[in-house]
Structure 1
């Protein structure tokens, strides 16, 4: 014999019920079948609303009843033919009873638990009656009232089963019954006096388990709208997948901590008889589902991750608790007497404090009761006033084999910590089947995804990018990312998504990832840009492994870095302003990066895509010391002076450099030497020296008139006006057999930048195009410097440098 239970979604309407009857017909070909059904979809909620409304307005109550009646009549018309008259008559009688009960509630202005249980019971009474009669037209089936078989105590809304009498009733009935299929309503029962009781919300599952245990069933099947118990809630974690097999204890832990596919008490009766429980999908019956049994074949150390939201943490704390017995007893006794369920418990080994988790809607009542219970101790300052913290969630990692694997707790807390998920309290049972942590409710979704990635996904890491600046460099970066996405996923197990983008006018967000084929159109139709609103949206998105990418040269953007780092959001930037700002700000950003475990990477600040800063870091981290740096660090200036001669105009060469994307949007920043000064400053700081930008001697080659311009148009006009000055610079160098190079130097704690005449014997002489070159003289390279040379400007190489920094974060 098998017991099959179908939930509310499985019997929500006529089409779904037809699927149920097909499943039952197939199952009954080889076995006798007991079928437990819930009320039609959402009917129990509507019945509760009907009863509660009756206290205020009987017309509203009757209106709700009419919508319930209409659904049931529709299903009768769709599915029942032979016995339609008899079934309709019985259903009409039951609705008339319901109406009378609601009128009584209105007249008496009283709604007791006893009455509420009676009202709620009508959902299953009606559904089982209708489905049984629909089944009779297809196969051998009978209907039986669960109230006649399951006996309980007098707790009407959450009744405790009298298993001795219940098992006798069930055994006796089924011994005499000869039908192939018996249909019963779940959830409902009765006490010894014959009054209707209920087994609590979710009690239909429990009913099915009671029948399975009493009948020593071959298997208990729970049919629902998902294909089993998942590694995490699939509506929150898109990568979650069904668990093939799981133990009774693991299933209990997961269901206790929010896995709604199974009502927690369901497992106990089946466990006692070691009856396998299979979770199946009514809408995909071919799916194997999840098997809950004593010895599952799946030996993964972590089986699932679950969570409960809307939790409050109650803390009892004080030096007066140490060594004094009875505090815990009084705490739990007070809550128990008022039927306040304790979901989570943790206590300091010093006995100085104890924390318990309760549902948020019980928190204020719990505080009131506990304040009264411990009033004397609080007044005498033996303990502190009761502390309540709300807006919390409990997240639990579950697995029976966890006790045999070292380091799982460390992996869990390390993964959460890396993403700024603060843990308020921790509990781990001595059986080590469950590690639970209390966190802020707003972080629940992120935490589930973090832990699922850590324990279940094939070493695939997801990075979520928020990009400001999608012009020349930003557009190339997005193109490179789109091109490499498949490669990254297949070879580096890295899934990079762009969640937000912005330019100076518009911004656009999509939490599931922006389509890189249509990002331009989406951005154009986005909302007006605001730096602060962009940051708030990044924060609100609360994505794991978040990275803010700054492709601008904007000072205001650089000034929000601190706020991102404080939220554990990593930063990748080609904007030099932050790292070339005050030394105090530079050091603060580096410190925040370490404190909040958020990367702060700026490889492209010097040399675009060249690994200059990374190489320098490796030298310093390995114990080397930098004494001197000589470098050509401006790809734009190198391009300008490599292409400027007596046959060209300085104005035209600079314009060409800007068109090629070698200069900043304001080319005066490059030509004034400010950009190079910032770069040598950054290298000096990364070498361990304390310098400010004003400490760097800038020997500008531009005339004063060019330096004092306020727009690109006036700057270019000044270049044309001073063409003779630039031609003289070229002629003087050329006459000596030299080439003009804009050189940055750092030595003995001092730095300078300026135009130099480079002789043919110097390493800088043959530097072509927009290439950069850096010479590091260190303890290990005192005479023959470490040289890095290559393309140092341009949108493509800068974008590739940004890309490399993103990969560095992924590999962290």
Structure 2
């Protein structure tokens, strides 16, 4: 019988995605323990939120993480101390960052250089400055370094295999010409409701309210409507396609926040005043209808021209982007090999379970590489 190996797991973030991931981790742990060829013991030794943490100095696995976290009065450690704690674990360690925290993202090179692998949906690590991007991949073993491994499939498209598909296209020598799609579940839902292919649809402000009530938007919908979430995803894709993109604010990004409402004090005030500007969006809808088209919020990367942009565009009603349903994402890769018929990846691009699935899938990739 093969001797089980032990891998130590640290998780930062126990919110929506974090909870779903911990549930999937529990299932994965029991599956791997029973593997006849390479039994692996996954030991959850660290769990933290922004305020508190649960861990043992001797790396004893956590028991019931939910009640342990609830009962904990231990403050979370500074990130360099967490890196030292994991570096001294009696085996390989993997950090799972289920946050969107910039400070955690900034510390990735430190963890990687200490041999700690990282799995994360945190877009900020890969869409901030190009310097942070270089520092991360010059430290990682799956970059140009000799440290831990890093995977971030869920930073674009939740559980959809967007990044792995793009990496394979590039690594096998295909020429990526253009990447285009709807990259936000929020914006997808919003415009599929605002201007359905069959016609109709409600006022823009009413559709934003519906999206907010259904939990599709951030607590303050301006965080979706400013286009920055999509710009971050486009930055990641453009960099993987070989473009030098300095940051998500270094290319044109159309904000759907009326100028007059950019500085209002709260999300509630923003929602209360948004109906004043419905006429502007109605004009766009009417103009598109006259051309037999619909308006959608898309992002695109033109690789030969080195251009990245995010904003509203009109599409024929027969176009796959126009026909999208609900809050689905759609990403089209136009490449030399695929010609005029792009490789299309489509499906749920948001939600705790599917995002966590992408994280769990990445953890499995790391575990294979650590064997």
TM-score (norm 1): 0.41
Task: Give aligned pairs, total.
Answer: 354
- Tell me how far 1:776 sits from its aligned partner: 1.2
User: 3-state DSSP class of the match of 2:127?
Assistant: coil
Residue 169 of structure 2 aligns to a residue in which SS?
A: helix
Equivalent position to 1:713, from 259, 268, 278? 268
Q: Deviations over 1:228-257 (max 9, x none)?
A: xxxxxxxxxxxxxxxxxxxxxxxxxxxxxx
> Counterparts of 1:427-506 in structure 2 under 5 Å?
457-458=2-3, 460-491=4-35, 493-506=39-52
Cα distance in 2 for partners of 1:629, 1:507 equals 40
Question: Could you say which residue in structure 2 is the equivalent of 1:86?
Answer: none
Going from structure 1 to structure 2, the CA distance change for 1:647 and 1:620 (only over 3 Å counts) comes to closer
Counterparts in 2 of 1:388-403, with a 5 A limit? none
- Contact kept, 8 Å, 1:567 with 1:596, in 2: the verdict is no
Residue 578 of structure 1 aligns to a residue whose secondary structure is helix
Change (3 A) 1:707 1:541: farther
Give me the whole-angstrom Cα distance separating, in 2, the residues matched to 1:618 and 1:498.
Answer: 32
2:65 counterpart of 1:514:
no
**Which 4+ stretches in 1 moved above 6 angstroms?**
none
SS at match of 1:698: coil
CA contact (8 A) 2:301 2:309 kept: yes
Contact conserved, 1:472 with 1:661, CA < 8 A, in 2? no
Distance 2:220 2:140 in 1: 30
5 Å matches for 1:230-309?
none
CA RMSD of aligned residues (A): 2.5
1:554 paired to 2:101:
yes
Q: CA deviation at 1:665?
A: 5.3
Q: How does 1:179-258 map to 2 (within 5 A)?
A: none
Shift of the 713–559 alpha-carbon distance from structure 1 to 2, 3 Å rule, reads: farther
User: Which has the larger Rg?
Assistant: 1
| Alignment check: 8 A CA contact 1:632 1:742 kept | yes
Look up the match of 1:755: 312
Deviation at 1:717, TM superposition (A): 3.4
1:746 aligned to which of 278, 294, 301: 301
For 1:663 and 1:546, locate their aligned partners in 2 and report how far apart those are by CA, in whole Å: 34
What is the rounded CA distance, in whole Å, between the counterparts of 2:297 and 2:76 in structure 1?
A: 37
Which of 280, 287, 305 lines up with 1:725 in the alignment? 280
Cα distance in 2, alignment partners of residues 771 and 477 from structure 1 = 21
Q: Deviations over 1:109-163 (max 9, x none)?
A: xxxxxxxxxxxxxxxxxxxxxxxxxxxxxxxxxxxxxxxxxxxxxxxxxxxxxxx
Match of 1:390 in 2: none
SS at match of 2:364: helix
Q: CA deviation at 1:734?
A: 4.3
Higher normalized contact order (CA 8 Å, seq sep 6+, divided by chain length)? 2
- Displacement of 1:757 after TM fit? 1.9
Give the CA deviation at 1:736.
4.2
> How do 1:485-634 residues align onto structure 2 when only pairs under 5 Å count?
485-491=29-35, 493-510=39-56, 511-515=59-63, 518-526=64-72, 527-532=74-79, 535-536=82-83, 538-539=85-86, 542-594=89-141, 595-634=145-184
Instruction: State the 1:467 CA deviation.
Output: 1.3
- For the 8 Å contact 1:700–1:755, the answer to whether it is kept is no
Structure 1 contact 507–534 (Cα < 8 Å) conserved: no
Q: Distance in 2 between matches of 1:635 and 1:606?
A: 11
Q: Is the 1:470–1:503 Cα contact (8 Å) retained in structure 2?
A: yes
Which one of 186, 191, 197 corresponds to residue 641 of structure 1?
A: 191
1:765 aligns with 2:322: yes
Specify the SS of the correspondent of 2:126.
coil
Q: Which runs of 5+ in 2 are unaligned?
A: none
Distance between the aligned counterparts of 2:222 and 2:350, measured in 1? 16
Q: Relative to 1, partners in 2 of residues 1:505 and 1:761: Cα closer, same or farther, differing over 3 Å?
A: same
Asked whether 1:786 is paired with 2:334, we answer no
Match for residue 332 of structure 2 among 775, 782, 799: 775
Structure 1, residues 82-110: CA drift from partner, whole Å, max 9, x if none?
xxxxxxxxxxxxxxxxxxxxxxxxxxxxx
Q: CA deviation at 1:749?
A: 0.9
Query: Separation in 2 of the partners of 1:652 and 1:529?
Result: 41
Match of 1:65 in 2: none
- TM-score when scaled to structure 2? 0.86
| Residues 258-293 of structure 1, C-alpha deviations (whole Å, 9 max, x = no match) | xxxxxxxxxxxxxxxxxxxxxxxxxxxxxxxxxxxx
Post-superposition offset of 1:612: 0.6
Cα deviation, residue 468, structure 1: 1.2
